[in-house]
Chain A
Amino acid sequence: MSISPERETRELRLQQIRREAELRATSISKLPSDSHMDARPSNGHGALQDFEPAASASPQTGYYGMPLLKTPAWTWEVPIYFFVGGAAGASAMLASVGKLTGADQRMIRDARWVAAIGAALSPPLLIADLGFPKRFLNMLRVFKVQSPMSVGSWTLVSFSSAAAASAVLSELERRRVLPRIPVLTDVAEIGAALTGLVLATYTGVLVGATAIPVWNAKVSLIPIHFATSGLSTAVSVLELRGHASSALNKIGIGATVVETAIGASLEFGKEPATEPLHHGPTGWTMRVAGLLSGPVPLALRLLSLTSPPRSPRSVKLRKAAAISSIAGSLITRWAWVYAGRASSKDPKVPLQLPGPARPDAEQIPQDK
């Protein structure tokens, strides 16, 4: 194969590096070659065989305890995107189901707008986190089912268009600017609800299907956790907007019951991979998130049932629950990202340290 002169110079440089390394090595000792290598005990110092290695790179510590995995590069935009996207997706679903079941028109309209605003905020958040934002559109070069990041990008784009169309079209119809075009409005509405459901849940798959131990250990839980959290937020935002139907409170109670159960399962289910959920600042963040999303708003919502619906006391209690849920939901997303970071720095799980007492031969493929 013929190569250009410039290429040849660079090739020669590699040879130079090799020679240099060779020279330096031989000035200290001979290069290892098979004739120099012999592991058979050459002396009688049998006692030294039991010498404890002084070095801290060992099968018990890994390579000087250094992280085996890379820390997630995601910045603050990502947990906020998870939060906003989740709430917007759930809101679109509420608008659709509300319309089907004949819920309050004003509530449905607000739910559409919450979805549309969330849909408008999400792409900028996601783009801001990219290392090379100008190339956001490269996300739409291909579609890969096996990549939750790819599925998510397509979902976000579809959701954003559908949610915006649904909100704008129904608003124009209501103001009688446009004649009613049921097909278009309905398609947009249903499209927003369906893609919204994916948007509210895929982020859990995105996080769970990775090499980060605390995330993949909980891959079956995180999508449910994120979805519940998104639904809680959507209901809470509507309540803060002044909607006080008892149907919304029922959804809120359901979501906070699930949140409480998830919080308990995270607290009491211990395994090596979930250590960051129990210890240190990451553990406390998750606990605070759990309390604010589960038991606190649940108690407030149940308490609100003791007063007549829509009474000032009931409304006040539900608004307090709503604020707690929204804060809890935001902290939940952050707590998961935070725990993932801590998890990535701990080589114990990927190295199976301290592993079950198995001989190494069983863990490492060997050729005999």
Chain B
Amino acid sequence: MSVTAFLTDSTLCIGCKACEVACKEWNQVPADGFDFRALSYDNTGSLGHSTWRHVKFVENGAVPGFGGNASEVFSWGFSSDVCKHCANAGCLEACPTGAIVRTEFGGVYIQPDVCNGCGYCVVCCPFGVVERRPEDGRAFKCTFCYDRQKEGLEPACATACPTESIKFGEIEHLRDTARERVRDLEEKGFDDVNLYDPTDTSVGGIHAFFIVRGDPKTYNLPPKPEVPTTYLKKGWMSAGIAAAAMVAGAFLAFTGSSDR
């Protein structure tokens, strides 16, 4: 099986949330309330146990030509966020039960019948994606529509996206598409287009990359995500020193005292 990926092109996104709806319906994800946050038209806020696709609404000031608007009109940047299905996934490495696995399509999948809700993946995801569902106790996140992919179908979000902002396909092919698209947009005069795919960090690239206008930080996409296993060496070294020091200290204290 070839490794698959998402390319989410926010320059095509119209903020219709069809992906959110399709994902919820297909995967039978519970509702996540309707809180108006008074920040923007975004009423879900971030990805979570019940939000596996999340459309971010970024309000831009009146900038001439931005998004083809007239100069005095606000414009919106929309970007549909999703689990990055990291090449080196913090959640997968952290999972003590083996519930989180790498599928034959390269996606990161939580087996709900194995997860025991230890919550360690939650603190090990550098993108803040996976979350424990309080009513259920287990951790949930985007499955990359593993069930659909196994049947040769596209994930629900990509199927429902009316503007083809969410593209799905073979990863290297999609990377080429992404590069081409960025080049294309630059030729059209968009000088602020970025492809977000952090291959130069310990995460080692993601299977869901994004084209955004402006700085990806605006969309809470971290510039240097690190897979937490990179801290293990330092941590165990410290643990070893601590253990040795404890034994040595106790030994010295006992042997060095007549009153022991």
**Complex interface: stretch among A159-167, A224-232, A285-293, A328-336:** A224-232
The answer on a CB contact under 8 Å between B63 and A68 is no
Give the nearest-CB partner of B255 in chain A: A101
Q: Map CB proximity to A onto B185-203 as digits: 1 under 8 Å, 0 otherwise.
A: 1001111001111111000
Q: Chain A residues near B103 (CB, 8 Å)? A: none
Chain A minimum-CB-distance residue to B42:
A64
- State the CA gap A360–B214 with chains docked (Å): 9
Are A17 and B25 in contact, CB atoms less than 8 angstroms apart?
A: yes
Q: How far is the CA of A188 from the CA of B162 in the complex (A)?
A: 65
Q: A55-B61, A93-B247 are in contact. Are A63 and B218 (CB under 8 A)?
A: yes
B39 at interface (Cβ–Cβ under 8 A)? yes
Complex contacts, B37 vs chain A, CB 8 Å:
64
Complex Cα spacing A104 to B259, Å: 9
B239 and A132 form a contact (CB under 8 A): no
Chain B min CB distance to A107 (Å): 8
Q: How large is the interface on A (under 10, 10 to 19, 20 to 34, 35 or more residues)?
A: 35 or more
Identify B242's interface contact among A11, A102, A227, CB under 8 A: A227
* Chain A residue, CB-CB nearest to B81: A63
- B56 interface residue, CB < 8 Å from A? yes
B33 at the interface (CB under 8 A from A): no
Of the stretches A178-186, A212-220, A268-276, A317-325, the one at the interface is: A212-220
Determine whether the beta carbon of B39 is less than 8 Å from that of A56: yes
Chain B residue at minimal CB-CB distance from A143: B96
Contact of A51 among B45, B62, B132, B199 (CB under 8 A): B62
B242–A97 touching, CB < 8 Å: no
- On whether the beta carbons of A144 and B98 are closer than 8 Å, the reply is yes
**Interface contact A41-B246, CB-CB below 8 Å:** no
Residues of the A chain whose Cβ atoms lie less than 8 Å from the Cβ of B48: 70
Given contacts A54-B61, A147-B93, A219-B238, contact A1 B152 (CB under 8 A): yes
The reply to whether B96 and A139 contact each other, CB–CB distance below 8 Å, is yes
Closest Cβ of chain B to A13, distance in Å, is 6
A200→B123 contact, CB < 8 A: no
- Known contacts being A247-B259, A351-B217, is A223 close to B190, with CB within 8 Å? no
Instruction: Tell me the B residues contacting A by CB distance below 8 Å.
Output: 11-12, 14, 16-18, 21-22, 25-26, 37, 39-40, 42, 45-46, 48, 56-68, 70-72, 74, 90, 93-99, 114-120, 122-133, 136-139, 151-153, 156, 159-163, 178-179, 182-185, 188-191, 194-200, 214-220, 222-226, 228-229, 231-232, 234-243, 245-247, 249-257, 259-260
Q: List 15 A-B contacts (CB under 8 A).
A: A17-B22, A18-B18, A62-B220, A63-B220, A69-B128, A73-B122, A135-B97, A138-B114, A152-B96, A204-B242, A210-B228, A219-B234, A247-B253, A352-B222, A366-B194
